[in-house]
A and B are shown apart, each in its own frame.
Chain A
């Protein structure tokens, strides 16, 4: 049967047809606004476009008013070549090189179909990076799951890990870091965030804009299928005569091989100078790509939707507009260069079709077999969506939570108890070795990986000649953010900043992925507002701008939201990767020092979580001036070759840091607790702005002078003993604890394999 297509003429002729806007997620006032913009009812194709583009995911309607702070409080910087608002920000790293990086969430799809959900999450963020004209050079994957021993975690985690590996490995992108965090709050809402970083020369920056009247719009990559268009079936059922929604998959399947071809093909057409503007197709597919390109360019575009190559010939125009089929890109190409463009696509066996051209009419006009089904001002679709000022208020329970201090929790008393406590922590799921996960990721491909997990930050060589490189770390402690979202966001920032500095790289720019519950809950909205404000204030104080990011709301089961989880990624630059600082104890006789100040800070700590299942109190004090000073010391020490190893102190405290430094290369150390500090607090407390470093004895005094000069407290706490030696800690004179490296390794290594096979 042939289906009646709802044209613009129909919309004018039959103005009062009922439309399923509620089912598509639009509110009555939003629908009314669309009618007002158009001066008539929308066609069903227009309704499809507005509904996806005005969704929370695409329009940021609940978060926009708060995200503005990242721009308003942007620190003075020359480093930002492209700021917030494009597919990804671009940062100058010197010598004519730039990098672009961004983190995005794929939480909900990964819960439904862990492998494909995670795989397509990687695919999506990679396309954002190539659409800036950059070559992707690494990925990272901050992940959060429910309790490690919950049966559903056993379903979700292996699939997510296999999906990230399956896609990233096949693309040839080294995975250089990420996070694996377990907490029951993520049980029904695992967080799968994916970060990609790409490199480019300054002159290669490309933007998503359709410039030049008469230029052609090319769609290339995979054919369009019925992926991820649950909403469109509602439209179809309303207009189909036989009724009954057609069943379309909400799950998308990734094709990493196609994406690899897309990368090579895109970089080749960009470098050949064949492209005026370029845009990836992600959420909202063709609706997003055409309206954004048009809106950012001359303001008009004419598209023939029937020229879109289809995987499934039965798709309706609404479905084609909404399809989220993966591995597709759109480019704007001049008529003179189109043959050369298509020739390169053929070389890479990539399907490419001209689907329209740029106009200056100020309208996005879309035709279907000669009939006009869309005629809208593109800006109203892409940029002028609704903006909500959602109510927010400090939750009624926040005070009680903060008052519930961990001070009264039972602590280990004897040396033997302390020894056991540390072992318990070392083997706990959040602190245990993540090798079971990371061994499934290729960290070597491309041959430029200088540091990768489990180091503090991933370090990638950008320029083989000069050794110029970048370091990236992503972090967030959701428990801290729950206790105090403003501080929690700053602690996430501080930790990522410290991790980058620990490798010897100077922090330069920030990306973020803000994972929260429902914005319709004033408690959650308060957490969100506090976290954004904290992050914006923190970035201003540290002098590093936010270059982009992503918001994921509705991470909740019933009324219960996840811990607020503002994942922060910090990128730093290192002039010569040969000077990077690794984390391992190495040379016998090296002095072990701690930089920074230890306070009694146990609220939200791994110890309180693992041993007592306790969450309450105030998180560790944020001291960004101290973080900055520490960072300066770590970077200067790396440049001056004053340190042989460095490792930042965070989850699990100094005990965990010493264990990790010892296990990395199998080299022991003897350490004593500084006078005046409680050994337990020293070992497992989580005060920030601290790092443990090692130095050649001949250079330790210079290092100490450097630290003092920057106002960073420094203390010698021990010495590296040698390969295979124990890790020994002298608690007080005459009383010490020791662990063999073998028992530490066995404890750290056993946990995840025992859980996941």
Chain B
């Protein structure tokens, strides 16, 4: 299974995402922002980082990269896409996911080991978890507060599209403690915390993040 990992200027966690794909048993394929071709990958990860320095708004400039034009069409056609942190911001800016991510309510960048509850296993990226499973993965963001209007939030809740929720501490002021959401079809998932930093016991607080990557590989094999 070939999982593409996009590098934008300023992407930082692209190598980590590729490593997580490999540890899960997949083949990581590097995709370049300026190349509109997805090179036949079976799924795509938009990694964390500060694309274009995040100078305007996180993800605002990356959204217009050539690769995104192709990716938006492919995602609308069902291609599995996982956006982590900056990748989540790019997905919202691209309108593949509703809502937006705003400055943390603390006004500080925050890096912490975050407890989450998996709220939906009906997505391409969470099928290997159990509903209600609690996991600990790193979280690191300056603009990670998830906002959307009440109707959108109700819709997300009602349709089971809240994928993960913060437990114990809401680190950034996200509405309804939302840490991740999916599109209606479940192929596109955006997540503020970083599962790719929790795939090896030596370098992460746990290996709880690995199942995001085994989920997609299992799903692709079964499909």
A residues sitting closer than 8 Å to B (CB atoms) are 162, 165-166, 169-172, 255-258, 260-261, 348-349, 438-450, 461, 577-578
Do B111 and A461 touch (CB < 8 A)?
A: no
Q: How far is the CB of B105 from chain A (nearest CB, A)?
A: 12
Q: How far is the CB of B64 from chain A (nearest CB, A)?
A: 14
Do A349 and B9 touch (CB < 8 A)?
A: yes
Q: How far is the CB of B115 from chain A (nearest CB, A)?
A: 14
Q: How far is the CB of B60 from chain A (nearest CB, A)?
A: 13
Q: How far is the CB of B169 from chain A (nearest CB, A)?
A: 11
Do A449 and B10 touch (CB < 8 A)?
A: no
Do A444 and B138 touch (CB < 8 A)?
A: yes
B109 in complex: contacting residue of A166, A260, A461, A577, CB < 8 Å: A166
Q: Say whether, besides A439-B111, A442-B111, A257 and B9 are in contact (CB < 8 Å).
A: yes
Do A444 and B111 touch (CB < 8 A)?
A: yes
Counting CB contacts under 8 A, is B16 at the interface?
yes
Counting CB contacts under 8 A, is B39 at the interface?
no
- Chain A neighbourhood of B109, CB < 8 A: 162, 165-166, 169, 440-442
Do A170 and B108 touch (CB < 8 A)?
A: no
Do A440 and B108 touch (CB < 8 A)?
A: yes
- Chain A neighbourhood of B9, CB < 8 A: 257, 260-261, 348-349
B10 in complex: contacting residue of A166, A170, A443, CB < 8 Å: A170
Q: Say whether, besides A349-B9, A440-B111, A578 and B202 are in contact (CB < 8 Å).
A: yes
Select from chain A the residue with minimum beta-carbon distance to B110: A439
Q: How far is the CA of A166 from the CA of B9 in the complex (A)?
A: 17
Q: Say whether, besides A166-B109, A440-B109, A461-B203, A447 and B197 are in contact (CB < 8 Å).
A: yes
Select from chain A the residue with minimum beta-carbon distance to B197: A444
Do B54 and A170 touch (CB < 8 A)?
A: yes
Q: How far is the CA of A170 from the CA of B12 in the complex (A)?
A: 8
Q: How far is the CA of A256 from the CA of B53 in the complex (A)?
A: 7
> 12 other contacts beyond A440-B109, A442-B140, A444-B140, with CB at 8 A cut-off?
A162-B108, A255-B53, A257-B53, A260-B53, A439-B108, A441-B111, A444-B138, A444-B204, A445-B12, A445-B16, A446-B16, A447-B197
Q: Say whether, besides A170-B53, A442-B111, A447-B197, A577 and B140 are in contact (CB < 8 Å).
A: no
Q: How far is the CA of A67 from the CA of B19 in the complex (A)?
A: 44
> C-beta contact mask, B190-219 vs A, less than 8 Å → 1, else 0?
000010110010111000000000000000
Q: How far is the CA of A166 from the CA of B50 in the complex (A)?
A: 11
> C-beta contact mask, B102-125 vs A, less than 8 Å → 1, else 0?
000000111110000000000000
Counting CB contacts under 8 A, is B49 at the interface?
yes
Q: How far is the CB of A579 from chain B (nearest CB, A)?
A: 10
Q: How far is the CB of A112 from chain B (nearest CB, A)?
A: 22
- Chain A neighbourhood of B54, CB < 8 A: 170
Q: How far is the CA of A253 from the CA of B41 in the complex (A)?
A: 41
B16 in complex: contacting residue of A257, A260, A443, A447, CB < 8 Å: A447
Q: Say whether, besides A440-B111, A447-B16, A172 and B202 are in contact (CB < 8 Å).
A: no
Q: How far is the CA of A445 from the CA of B53 in the complex (A)?
A: 16
Do A448 and B13 touch (CB < 8 A)?
A: no
Do A446 and B108 touch (CB < 8 A)?
A: no
Q: How far is the CB of B69 from chain A (nearest CB, A)?
A: 19
Q: How far is the CB of B24 from chain A (nearest CB, A)?
A: 14
- Chain A neighbourhood of B10, CB < 8 A: 170, 257, 260-261
Q: Say whether, besides A443-B111, A447-B196, A257 and B50 are in contact (CB < 8 Å).
A: yes
Q: How far is the CA of A444 from the CA of B54 in the complex (A)?
A: 19
Q: How far is the CB of A448 from chain B (nearest CB, A)?
A: 6
Select from chain A the residue with minimum beta-carbon distance to B51: A257
Q: How far is the CA of A162 from the CA of B104 in the complex (A)?
A: 14
Which residues of B from 170 to 204 have beta carbons under 8 Å from A? 194, 196-197, 200, 202-204
Do A447 and B112 touch (CB < 8 A)?
A: no
Counting CB contacts under 8 A, is B15 at the interface?
yes
Q: How far is the CB of A673 from chain B (nearest CB, A)?
A: 35
Q: How far is the CB of A89 from chain B (nearest CB, A)?
A: 27
User: 13 interchain pairs (CB within 8 A)?
Assistant: A162-B109, A169-B140, A170-B10, A255-B53, A256-B50, A440-B111, A442-B111, A444-B138, A445-B140, A447-B13, A447-B203, A449-B203, A461-B202
Q: How far is the CB of B22 from chain A (nearest CB, A)?
A: 10
Do A577 and B50 touch (CB < 8 A)?
A: no
Q: How far is the CA of A446 from the CA of B13 in the complex (A)?
A: 6
Q: Say whether, besides A169-B50, A444-B138, A257 and B55 are in contact (CB < 8 Å).
A: yes
Do A450 and B203 touch (CB < 8 A)?
A: yes
Interface centre among A349, A442, A443, A450 (most CB of B within 10 A): A442
Q: How far is the CA of A63 from the CA of B112 in the complex (A)?
A: 42
Q: Say whether, besides A461-B202, A577-B202, A444 and B194 are in contact (CB < 8 Å).
A: yes
- Chain B neighbourhood of A349, CB < 8 A: 9
Q: How far is the CA of A442 from the CA of B12 in the complex (A)?
A: 11
Q: How far is the CA of A423 from the CA of B55 in the complex (A)?
A: 44
Q: How far is the CA of A438 from the CA of B204 in the complex (A)?
A: 17
Q: How far is the CA of A729 from the CA of B53 in the complex (A)?
A: 51
Select from chain B the residue with minimum beta-carbon distance to A256: B53
Q: How far is the CB of A175 from chain B (nearest CB, A)?
A: 9
Which residues of B from 13 to 33 have beta carbons under 8 Å from A? 13, 15-16, 19
Select from chain A the residue with minimum beta-carbon distance to B142: A169
A172 in complex: contacting residue of B12, B110, B194, B197, CB < 8 Å: B12
Q: How far is the CA of A349 from the CA of B19 in the complex (A)?
A: 27
Which residues of B from 23 to 73 have beta carbons under 8 Å from A? 48-50, 52-55
Select from chain B the residue with minimum beta-carbon distance to A264: B9
- Chain B neighbourhood of A257, CB < 8 A: 9-10, 50, 52-53, 55
Select from chain A the residue with minimum beta-carbon distance to B32: A347
Interface centre among A171, A444, A446 (most CB of B within 10 A): A444
- Chain B neighbourhood of A260, CB < 8 A: 9-10, 12, 50, 53
Q: How far is the CB of A646 from chain B (nearest CB, A)?
A: 17
Q: How far is the CB of A64 from chain B (nearest CB, A)?
A: 39
Select from chain A the residue with minimum beta-carbon distance to B196: A447
Do B203 and A448 touch (CB < 8 A)?
A: yes
Q: How far is the CA of A260 from the CA of B142 in the complex (A)?
A: 18
Q: How far is the CB of B199 from chain A (nearest CB, A)?
A: 8
Select from chain A the residue with minimum beta-carbon distance to B201: A578
Q: How far is the CA of A439 from the CA of B172 in the complex (A)?
A: 13
Q: How far is the CA of A256 from the CA of B194 in the complex (A)?
A: 22
The 7 closest A-B pairs by CB, nearest first: A257-B53, A172-B12, A447-B16, A444-B197, A170-B50, A444-B138, A442-B140
Q: How far is the CB of A61 from chain B (nearest CB, A)?
A: 38
> C-beta contact mask, B135-171 vs A, less than 8 Å → 1, else 0?
0001010100000000000000000000000000000
Q: How far is the CA of A160 from the CA of B112 in the complex (A)?
A: 20
Q: How far is the CA of A447 from the CA of B209 in the complex (A)?
A: 13
- Chain B neighbourhood of A170, CB < 8 A: 10, 50, 53-54
Select from chain B the residue with minimum beta-carbon distance to A174: B111
Interface centre among B9, B52, B110, B200 (most CB of A within 10 A): B9
- Chain B neighbourhood of A256, CB < 8 A: 50, 53
- Chain B neighbourhood of A172, CB < 8 A: 12-13, 49
Q: How far is the CB of B208 from chain A (nearest CB, A)?
A: 14
B202 in complex: contacting residue of A255, A440, A450, CB < 8 Å: A450
Select from chain B the residue with minimum beta-carbon distance to A467: B202
Q: How far is the CB of A284 from chain B (nearest CB, A)?
A: 27
Q: How far is the CA of A448 from the CA of B197 in the complex (A)?
A: 9
- Chain B neighbourhood of A578, CB < 8 A: 202
Q: How far is the CA of A450 from the CA of B12 in the complex (A)?
A: 18
Q: How far is the CA of A165 from the CA of B107 in the complex (A)?
A: 13
